[in-house]
Amino acid sequence: MSYAYLFKYIIIGDTGSFVSPISPFQIWVGKSCLLLQFTDKRFQPVHDLTIGVEFGARMITIDNKPIKLQIWDTAGQESFRSITRSYYRGAAGALLVYDITRRETFNHLASWLEDARQHANANMTIMLIGNKCDLAHRRAVSTEEGEQFAKENGLIFMEASAKTAQNVEEAFISTAATIYKKIQDGVFDVSNESYGIKVGYGGIPGTLGWKRWLNFSSRRVLQLKLLIFECFDSSNCVYRVSTLYCLLLLFL
Amino acid sequence: MHEADIHDLSDDADYAASQQQGSRSISRCGSDKRSEPSGAEVVFLKENVAIHPTQYASERIRGRLRLIKQGACLFMTWIPYKEIGSGGGAFGHSDARLSDKDRNLYSIRAVPVTDIRSIRRHNPTLGWQYVIVVLSSGLAFPPLYFYNGGVREFLATLKQHAVLVRSADDANLFLLNDFQDPLQRSLSSLELPRAVSVAPTSTSESSSSSSVSSERPEDGRSYSEYQKHGQKSNDPARDLSIQVLEKFSLVTKFARETTSHIFREIHSDNLNTNDRKNQAPIVSNSNNDVDNSGLESASTESFVAADPIEKPSCRKDISAVKKLPLQWGVLSLFIFDKMTLVWGKPRQSPLGTEEWVTFLDAEGRILDSKDLRKRIFYGGVEHQLRKEIWKILLGYHDYDSTYAEREYLSSMKKVEYKALKRQWKSISVAQAKKFTKFRERKALIDKDVVRTDRSITFYDGDDNPNVMLLRDVLLTYSFYNFDLGYCQGMSDLLSPILFVMEDESEAFWCFVALMERLGPNFNRDQSGMHSQLFALSMLLELLDKPLHNYFKQKDCLNYFFCFRWVLIQFKREFHYEQIMRMWEVVWTHYLSEHLHLYACVAILKKHRKKIMGEEMDFDTLLKFINDLSGHIDLDAILRDAEALCVCAGENGAALIPPGTPPSLPLESNLLYSQQDEL
Ligand SMILES: Nc1nc2c(ncn2[C@@H]2O[C@H](COP(=O)(O)OP(=O)(O)OP(=O)(O)O)[C@@H](O)[C@H]2O)c(=O)[nH]1
Ligand SMILES: [Mg+2]
């Protein structure tokens, strides 16, 4: 499907290894469930634990532009951190998830944030999500604390529930809206894909695609650029036509 | 037209020789046209065309070569004679040492001529003329020896029915289906700078850390050797790449010893071509994948650097090629001519009960463990036998233990397991409150077992007792091996074992045996994983340098995209039944302890065209590889992995550092370097 932009998100947060002795169950923060709720609009109470990373994708619309979100759901266990870090590279947005019924997952946020700041690009938009707000009666972290933490660290904040779908849609979309605004404000050089944004061809004036094409610094393209110059330099008409034909084939 | 063709073929120096040979022979060919009942027409038939799987004269296989025309299509077939020479050959007495089954492995059944890329004719001064047929997939058939002559007629007939042109630079090389499309050529010429960019010079400079230190001197030597073969340096790159394919499809034990040498030669070949101002593209655009996925557009393909050993898959028993063919090796100019083809052996049906007992003596000892491992390597075992055989494969039971000994050990181990389990069962709530590490582990295991394979009937539903068993075994293990503890991924490894064993204690001890091999995968510092991913990168560098260089260029050399494959031995990539098959094959450690790494290489190679053609970066690659889950053809991958393993031979084994899991660690007391967490 064609899109105007593609944003890469990552979802990070505890797997739930820090548990209170009183509640041995309900100890996941629910990253994979959030993703599934957003992409498939369903809640699957049992979902295989994540090894390495898993992917989801969905189209949304912002400012009448089709935007594709490509979401990376990472494994939460501490021992996989060194792998997880390699996934931060080039993410435009991050959802940092904790479980409102488990204070440990909240206490652990600072270290996740530090990781993200260190390994992701500086302009990454981070959304803090307090998940499982359907379990309000078991709440261990108040909404105000979440808000406070977000404010101190410059994050967007929302409480959500993967089970009831409350605020799930909003969390993903408002992150995208923030990124979109940053693009409009010229914070990103969208032709540089290390910001986690790809420019598509749908809904964007042709010139943008063209511009990206010219900025695309692969060897092949360099070679093509050279060829174009050579082509117009050349007096050999057949050569000109055949080269142009090649170029057309490559880009159509 | 016909006249001209004959003329064209007769202009070479060997013409007279082949004429002579032809007149001596008792050939029935060329004009001998017979109609087949199916409406197909035999346009060429030659008796006594043989292949030589080994150097033993007694193992040569004679057969009948035919070109058959059906409608507009032309097919080539070569069928070995039946043992008692009924097939028209007058040589029924020989071939005694190869069974019909073995011989039939070599049959060439109706290969469309359109799939043939090139035919090289060899006219040794002593001995028979032979040809090597290379398919567009890069696969080469073993040399076909024309005992009765007739190579010329064979080529002439081909020329009548298909587009056959003699290579401009090598009079003995004939290209088929070589449509000299100027557009195609200009497209591929665009590719040259990229071919340079993935050439190995840059590599050895910037990555001394990841490359073999002996590489440089060898490079230099083969380069000068290359220079000595004067005629070769005039070949256009296209022909060169065909030569490369011929050489690489022809690999024997002998070749194993020289593999790395040759690999380097290829690289200097590439270099040399590029140095020579690149008159022709090094990249071939006719390399379709064998696996019919070659439907990708030609423009994509033409951007992909050629696979140095494209697809050595196939159907031949490796044991047959382990013997060095001598008879014409002495005569040949190039070292590579000594090689015979390696075929990945066809997968066999799983080992069944009847056959299983033939591996045992009366008391239940395994007579020949290597034999058994080999049998399982090629076919796996039937499900009802897994319970018994896995214990042996994993090393929980010894190969030379008797039924009685195994039973005794199991009962002893049951007692021991109970004692281990009591260690955590007896922890009271009060004690648990002061035992954070235990609480954390238990909680983590609790939450992971209910998220493991719940779609399998054995584990589904609420309060499934098997899920509790899974938990108990894992928790007991985390006490048995307290330093390693529990890590995500272990439940994936245990789940099929418990499913097979259907017994808590037996599953536990099998898991313990497996973790002896795979425990380091879960080291907190990831050392086990890093050493395997490193070995993987070395293997890929050996077996597919262009792809390796591509990963390097894309900054993907950490091979993290193979993380899940390696961590849990492809558990998430195959369906449940398939993963059990995969594991028992891998656990045999038959050709290599690291077959799983060769399987990684095989999968990556299978998709190399897509990966490089679409210029996948790390993110795209990772997603692509994740999405392969459930879509990998297990048998094909095992076959390819086997062929790659044979192809890499000792050189491959030498690249894998000692102690790389699942090999046992060098110093067992340094097994787990866990920090004081979890
Ligand atoms: N009540 C409630 N339960 C939830 C919610 N989200 C997730 N869960 C539960 O938490 C369990 C685990 O969620 P996952 O999404 O697998 O957890 P994760 O964060 O992906 O864990 P790792 O993959 O190990 O890092 C699910 O099986 C659900 O039962 C929620 O919003 N409300
Ligand atoms: Mg998850």
State the average pLDDT over residues B235-248. Answer: 44
The answer on pLDDT for B553 being more than 60 is yes
The pLDDT score that the predictor gives to residue B572 is 96
Residue of B454, B560, B619 lying closest to A90 (CB–CB):
B619
**What is the enclosing helix (H) or strand (E) of A95?**
strand A93-99
* A52: nearest CB among B563, B618, B678: B563
> Confidence class of residue B265 from pLDDT cuts 50, 70 and 90?
very low
For B193, the closest of A54, A87, A219 (CB atoms) is A219
Question: CB–CB of A25 and B447 under 8 A?
Answer: yes
Is residue B160 predicted with pLDDT exceeding 90?
no
Mutate-to-test residue for ligand 1 from A14, A28, A54, A81, highest number of ligand atoms within 8 A of CB: A28
Give tens-digit pLDDT for B660-672.
Answer: 999 876 654 444 4
Residues in chain B with CB shorter than 8 Å from the CB of A245 are: 183
Average pLDDT, chain B: 73
Q: Does the N-terminal peptide bond of residue B662 adopt cis geometry, omega within 30 degrees of 0?
A: yes
More confident call, B330 vs B245: B245
- pLDDT at position B669: 45
Range of lowest pLDDT (A82-86, B49-53, B167-171, B510-514): B167-171
pLDDT tens across B215-224, in order? 333 333 333 3
Mean pLDDT over B90-99 rounds to 51
**pLDDT over 70 for what percent of chain B?**
64
Average pLDDT value for residue range B594-612: 95
Is the beta carbon of A125 within 6 A of some atom in ligand 1?
no
B30, B36, B41, B42 alpha-carbon torsion, rounded to 10° = -30
Q: Is the pLDDT of residue A230 over 70?
A: no
Q: Is the pLDDT of residue A71 over 80?
A: yes
The pLDDT tens digits for A115-151 are: 898 988 888 999 999 999 999 999 999 999 999 999 9
Q: A172-214: per-residue pLDDT in tens?
A: 999 999 999 998 888 877 777 777 788 876 544 433 444 444 4
Q: What is the CA radius of gyration of chain A?
A: 22
- Between B256 and B630, the higher pLDDT residue: B630
Contact B187 A249 (CB under 8 A): yes
| pLDDT reported for residue B164 | 83
Task: Indicate the residue of A27, A28, A54 with minimum beta-carbon distance to B626.
Answer: A54
CA of B40 to the centre of ligand 2 (A): 59
Beta bridge partners of A68: A6, A59
Q: Kind of pairing, strands B129-135 and B116-122? A: antiparallel
Local confidence band at B269 (pLDDT 50, 70, 90 cut-offs):
very low
pLDDT on residue A201: 60
For residues A99-104, average pLDDT: 91
* Concatenated DSSP letters of B394-407: TTSS-TT--HHHHH
pTM metric for this prediction: 0.63
Closest residue in B to A89 (Cα–Cα): B619
Q: Place A46 in a pLDDT band, splitting at 50, 70 and 90.
A: confident
Q: What is the pLDDT, as a whole number, of residue B435?
A: 92
d(CA B591, CA B638): 12
> Would you say how long chain A is, in residues?
252
Size of interface A-B (CB pairs under 8 A): 112
Tally Cβ neighbours within 10 Å of residue B623: 18
Residue B207 predicted with pLDDT over 50: no
ipTM: 0.75
Q: Taking residues B375-394, what's their average pLDDT?
A: 96
Q: What is the pLDDT of residue B80?
A: 86
* pLDDT, mean of residues B567-572: 96
Nearest-neighbour CA in chain A from B453: distance (Å) = 7
Chain B: give the shortest CA distance to residue A189, in Å: 19
- Indicate yes or no: CB of B487 within 8 angstroms of CB of A77: yes
Q: Contact A250/B299, CB-based, under 8 Å? A: yes
Contact between A49 and B488 using a beta-carbon 8 Å cutoff: yes
Averaged over A34-41, what is the pLDDT?
A: 93
pLDDT tens sequence across B406-450:
999 999 999 999 999 999 999 999 999 999 889 989 988 998 999
Whether B493 and B638 have beta carbons less than 8 Å apart is answered as no
pLDDT at A154 > cutoff 80: yes
Contact B562, B572 (CB under 8 A): no
Burial class (CB within 10 angstroms; exposed 0-12, middle 13-18, buried 19+) of A72: buried
> For chain B, what percent of residues have pLDDT higher than 90?
41
Q: In 10 A of CB B86, how many CB atoms?
A: 9
Residues B330-360 have pLDDT tens digits of 222 222 323 334 556 788 999 999 999 999 9
Of all residues in chain B, the one with the smallest CA distance to A23 is B443
Shortest CA distance to A96 belongs to which of A158, A44, A164? A158
Considering every ligand atom shown, identify the ligand nearest to the alpha carbon of residue A75 and give its number.
1
Residue A206 or A171, more confident: A171
Residues of B in contact with A99 (CB under 8 A): none
Distance (angstroms) between ligand 2 centre and the Cα of B644 equals 35
pLDDT(A22) > 60: no
**Range scoring the smallest mean pLDDT among B53-57, B282-286, B570-574, B653-657:** B282-286
Is the separation of the CB atoms in A34 and A15 below 8 Å? no
